[in-house]
Amino acid sequence: MADVGRPETDRQLKEQTRRLTMLNELITEIVAAEDVDQLFKVTAAQIGELFRGNRVSLILTDDNGVTFKIFGLHGSAGDLPAGIEFPFEGTAVEAAIAENKVLITPDLSKKLGFAENTKLIEQGLQSSLIAPLITRKQVLGSLNIGSQKTNGFDQLDEDIARQLASLLATTIENRWLLAQVQHRTVDLEETTKALRKSEARLLKTTENVPGMIYQFLLQPDGTASLPYVSAWTQETFGFAPETLYESADPIIGLIHPDDLAEFQRSVAHSAQTLEIWQWEGRVYTQSGTVVFMRGQSKPELQPDGSILWSGVLIDISDRKQSQVALAKRAVELEVVAEISTAVATSLEPQTVLQLICDLTADRFGLYHAHIYLLNNRNQALTLAAGAGAIGRQLMTEGWMIPLNQEQSLVANAARIKQGVVANDVRQTSGFLQNPLLPETRSEMAVPMLVGKQVLGVLDVQSDKVNNFSQEDIQIYTILAGQVASAVRNAQLFETVRQAQTNAENRLREMETLRQLIEALAGALRVDEVIDAFFKACTKMLGF
C-alpha cells in the first residue's frame, strides 16, 4: 500500500521551494530599485504571481496619519484615480497596522464591517491579504493583495508576506532617506554657493515500492513469523525472506529501542480488536543507518486461533525529511523575521553588524558567524563583526581577505555574487583553517548584495559535517539581502548625520566670519581691530 501523505508533502515542499526562489528574485528587484515609484512598477506583477493574486496595491500613509493614498495599483480588478485621500478609520488597513501583523480575510463578504470590502467585492475580489509596512516607530502604509477566490491565501502566504513587508518597509524608508540625502545635497550645494557669494564679500557630499510487502502471523502462544515477505527485506535489512518464515524476531530486533514499546502495543491492540494495524517508527538497516517506516495491514482471525496480518511496510524517510525540511524552513523564516525586526531598531552601523552576527549564530545554532565588508579601494574584504568573544578577538586582530584569494569561500562568494558551501572543510582542497575556530567542519558564505553591488559577505560556520544545503543558501540569501539593506540604511543615516554636522559647522564658521567683518568695519584703532580678531577666533575655534 502506497504512502498517501508523501505526494502531498512533496508537493508542498516543491511549492515552498519554488516560491522561495521567486521571493529571492523579487528581493533582488526590490533592493535594486532606485526609488519607490520604480520599486512598485518593476515588482507589482511578480508580487501578484508570488501570492497568486489578482490585484496588488501599495498604500502609503499621509503625513496627517489619519488618511492614506493608493500609491500604486496593479491587476485586472478595478481601477482608482491617483491622488485621492481615503480615511483609515473603519478599514482593514487600519486593523492590520494597529495589530502590526499580516491580516488575511478569507471571505470579504463576511467582513463587511471594514469600509473598503464592499467596494472590493463589487470589483470582483473575494479575499484579501494586508501586510503592514512599519519600521521602528514609523508607519509607512501597507501592501494589499486581492484574490478573486475565497480562501485565496494560506499560512505560507502569511509567512512570505511578513518577510516581504519587512524588506519593502526598510527599502521604502531607505529610498526616502536617500531622496532626503539628495535633497540635502542640493540644499547644501545651494547653501555652499550662497556661502561662497558671502565669502566673496566677506573672505570666499515495490520492488519499485520503497518498502516490504508481507504477511505477519501471530500464534496464540505469542510467537511471530513472516510466512511471506518480499525481496526488499534482503536488500534493506540483510535477511533472506526464507530466514523469517519461522520467526520474525530478527526483523523485530531491528526496531529502534525507543519505538519498540509502541510497536508491541499497536500489534496487541490490533490483535485484540481486529482493527487495521498502523504504526510509524524507526528501523535500523543492514548498513546501520536509521530509516523511518510506516506499516499498515489488515488482521484476519485464523481457525487455529492465530492472527494473520497482510500488509506493507513502507520507507517514509523522504516524507519525514520533507516534513522536517518544511518545519525547518518555517522556523528559519521566523528566525530571519526576528533578526530583521531586531536590527531594524538600530541605525548605528557597527551595532547593526554585531547584533546580526550574535543573533545569527545563536538563533540558527551555529558554531560561528561573522560579516566581512568589501573595501573597493584596496579590493579586500575586511572583518567588520563576529559573534561572541572569538568574533571580537578576530576584530582586534584586523582580519582581512584579498578579493582575489582563490582558497577563500568568503572571497569566492563575493566574486561570483552567489552563496557557496563547503560541507566538509577537511576534505576541501586549499581550505584555510582559522586557528581561533578549530572546530569548524562546514562553512557557507553568502554575498550581501544591494542590487548588483557587493556590500560584503555573511559567513556562517558549523561544527557538524554536511550542515548546509541548497535550501539553506536560499534562506541565508534572504537574510543577507535584509542585512545588506539594514547596513546600507545605517550607512545612509550616518552619511546624512555627518552631512548635517558639516553643514552646521560651516554655517557657524561663516557666521563668525561675518561678525568679524562687521566688527572690523567699525574699529578705528589698532587695539580694537586686534581685540575683535581674537574674539572671533576664540568663538570659531572653541577655546
Instruction: Summarize pLDDT for 278-288 with one digit per residue, the tens.
Output: 999 999 988 88
Q: What residues contact 160, with CB distance under 8 A and at least 6 apart?
A: 19, 23, 50, 51, 333
Q: Say if domain 346-468 classifies as CATH 3.10.129.10.
A: no
pTM: 0.48
DSSP 252-298: HTTB-HHHHHHHHHHHHHHHHH-PPEEEEEEEE-TTS-EEEEEEEEE
Domain residue ranges of the chain, discontinuous segments joined by +:
5-175, 211-320, 346-468
Average pLDDT over residues 459-478: 88
How would residue 345 be classed by pLDDT, with cut points 50, 70 and 90? low
CATH 3.30.450.20 fits 211-320, yes or no: yes
Are 5-175 and 211-320 the same fold in CATH? yes
Residue 245's φ and ψ, nearest 5 degrees, are -65, -30
pLDDT, residue 308, reads 96
Q: Is the pLDDT of residue 342 over 50?
A: yes
State residue 344's pLDDT score.
65
SS3 state of residue 82: coil
With bands split at pLDDT 50, 70 and 90, how would you rate the model's confidence at 317?
A: confident
Contact 406, 423 (CB under 8 A): no
pLDDT at 203: 42
Strand ranges for 185-251 from DSSP E:
211-218, 224-229
Which of the four pLDDT bands, split at 50, 70 and 90, describes residue 516? low
Secondary structure of residue 105 in the 3-state scheme = strand
pLDDT of residue 458: 92
pLDDT of res. 204: 45
Of residues 156 and 269, more confidence is placed in 269
**Which three-class secondary structure state does DSSP give residue 311?**
strand
Residue, of 214 and 432, whose pLDDT is higher: 214
Poorest-confidence range of 192-201, 245-254, 306-315, 403-412? 192-201
Stretch among 364-373, 388-397, 489-498 having the lowest mean pLDDT? 489-498
Kindly report the average pLDDT of the chain as a whole number: 82
CA 160 – CA 129 distance, rounded (Å): 11
Residue 305 pLDDT > 80: yes
Residues 73, 79: contact at Cβ < 8 Å? yes
CATH class of 5-175: alpha beta
